Amino acid sequence: MKQPKAQRKTKTSPPRIVGLIGCGAIGTVLAEAIARKLIVCDELTVYDVDTAKAQQLKKSLRFPVTIAASFDELLERKPTVIIEAASQQAAKDYAPRIVAEDIALIVLSTGALLGLNVDLSKVYVPSGAIGGLDAIASAALAGIDEAVLTSRKNPRAFGLDNQEVKLVYEGSAEEAVQRFPREMNVAATLALAVKPAKVKVQVLSDPAVQRNTHEIKVKWRFGEMLLRFANDPHPENPHTSALAAWSAIKLLKTLLET
């Protein structure tokens, strides 16, 4: 009797699961990009300390979404990449455990990374509301003499109502992200790019501007750089620029496709 041929076993790739911490305005933009298939993955697992936000996000999407009841449950799903879109405190609390699990981590609250004792080889930082970081980081290898960041935002971003330009902060990037944890992640992103040089930060509350504006001046060993970015604030979160979410989307897309 002729025996049936044994079926050849084929290897199947593990599902590509994206983990999302934080279901607020920025997290929603990321999730919607996944639902629109701008980012190709098999499943989205979301976690937020406010369960109602996670449930609301899931209902708004036509895409497989799992709500993790706890951070431990999020890790148990074994995501390919986890995105932090919650807060500096969340990044500080969760980054060490995510890195220990050998899971790629995208951090939007980059201020948390300044002084955080964690292996940064598995941590990815999107460019956020600025660009040119590749050129700036290249200059840092040769030596940066001075790096200055001047940020202008409408008073409502700071909860102010001043009618004239007001200096609200001047000092280091490290202190800036502590005093303005939601507004000045851009300072941390720049600080990470120019290391070991230090960034001088000036923050202005300007009623004449409607866009979040960042001007970067860099003097380095072989020249100078001047970069300026004017970004619309996110319509649901004036503290941050819409570009911050889209830079994370681009980074996530790159990580999943490599």
Each residue's pLDDT expressed in tens, for the chain with a length of 258 residues: 334 444 444 456 788 999 999 999 899 999 999 999 999 999 999 999 999 999 999 999 999 999 999 999 999 999 999 999 999 999 999 999 999 999 999 999 999 999 888 888 889 999 999 999 999 999 999 999 999 999 999 999 899 999 999 999 999 999 999 999 888 999 999 999 999 999 999 999 999 999 999 999 999 999 999 999 999 877 767 777 888 889 999 999 999 998
Instruction: Return the pLDDT at 10.
Output: 46
Instruction: Return the pLDDT at 11.
Output: 57
pTM, entire model: 0.89
Residues 6+ apart with CB under 8 A from 169: 175, 176, 179, 180, 201, 202, 203
Residues marked as catalytic: 214
Domains identified in the chain and CATH numbers: 17-124 (3.40.50.720), 133-237 (3.30.360.10)
Instruction: Return the pLDDT at 168.
Output: 97
Can you read off the two tokens belonging to residue 178?
A: 């502590």
Residues 6+ apart with CB under 8 A from 172: 198, 199, 200, 201
